[in-house]
Amino acid sequence: MYTKHKWESENHYNFKYLRYLPEDFDKSKKYPLVFFLHGAGERGDDPDIVALHGYLQYVKEENAEYPFIIIAPQCPEGKYWGCFTESLLAFLDWTCEDLPVDKSRIYLTGLSMGGTGTFMLAMAAPETFAAIAPVCGSGICWYAGAIKDIPTYIFHGDCDTVVPIYESITMLKNINLSGGNAIMEICHGVGHNAWDVAYKGDKLYKWMLKFSKEDNKQL
């Protein structure tokens, strides 16, 4: 099960967050880390609602187990992830010191507002992430080259009326035109809830876990 926490920092926004540790967690070992950014509907002051979608939903509802640490900060009401780029990176740095994280295997994913946040945070610190998976988000297409060296797996529903699918298609094209090798899964017949496809089962996380920042190659 996940646990609820609050980060205390004098210089940055103090996120409330959810933390999941793998079964039989052992502090003497190093673990991959999945850093998860939720959507606009989960903003607020109650971190439990961060588990409404994504991997933590399956931890909560199905007692799902994963071979990695999950850290999921909560964005305050009325804000978006781009307001907190420096704080998110500082929080991530702190997390990697507080927990036995394999720093070569940090993965970033998020949905809707968090899908946009995934693009933005990766662009701010492309050296940090071994792979990213933006789900039904929008991007900054003119700056897509900043993440050309990060393995990227995009998900988007072709019936999405909240964030049109062309947002993801444009990012895919611009990343690859810059020399990247991003891939995209179009979720046919799916609206904005492409996260139900992306995070169900083990396909996405097994894809992410193949990559290591240490040598920028598949394991």
Which domains does the chain show, CATH number per domain?
3-213 (3.40.50.1820)
DSSP bridge pairs for 187: 157
pTM score of the predicted model: 0.96
pLDDT of residue 217: 53
pLDDT 10s digits, 179-208: 999 999 999 999 999 999 999 999 999 999
Both tokens of 204, joined, read: 């996405």
DSSP bridge pairs for 155: 135, 185
Q: What Å distances lie between residue 68 and 42, 113, 192, CA to CA?
A: 23, 23, 27
Both tokens of 24, joined, read: 């039989």
The residue-averaged pLDDT of 120-133 equals 98
pLDDT of residue 214: 76
Which sign does the torsion angle of CA 153, 154, 157, 158 carry? negative
The helix/strand count (H/E) of the chain reads as 6, 10
Q: Which residue did the predictor score with more confidence, 218 or 118?
A: 118
pLDDT of residue 65: 97
Q: Please name which of 159, 99, 149, 111 lies closest in space to residue 128, comparing C-alpha atoms.
A: 149
CA distance linking residue 203 with residue 86, whole number of Å: 31
pLDDT of residue 219: 47
Cα–chain center distance at 36 = 4
pLDDT 10s digits, 147-184: 999 999 999 999 999 999 999 999 999 999 999 999 99
pLDDT 10s digits, 47-105: 999 999 999 999 999 999 999 999 999 999 999 999 999 999 999 999 999 999 999 99
Beta-sheet strand order (sheet of 3-6): 3-6, 16-20, 69-73, 31-37, 101-111, 131-135, 153-157, 183-187
State the chain's mean pLDDT as an integer: 96
pLDDT of residue 215: 60
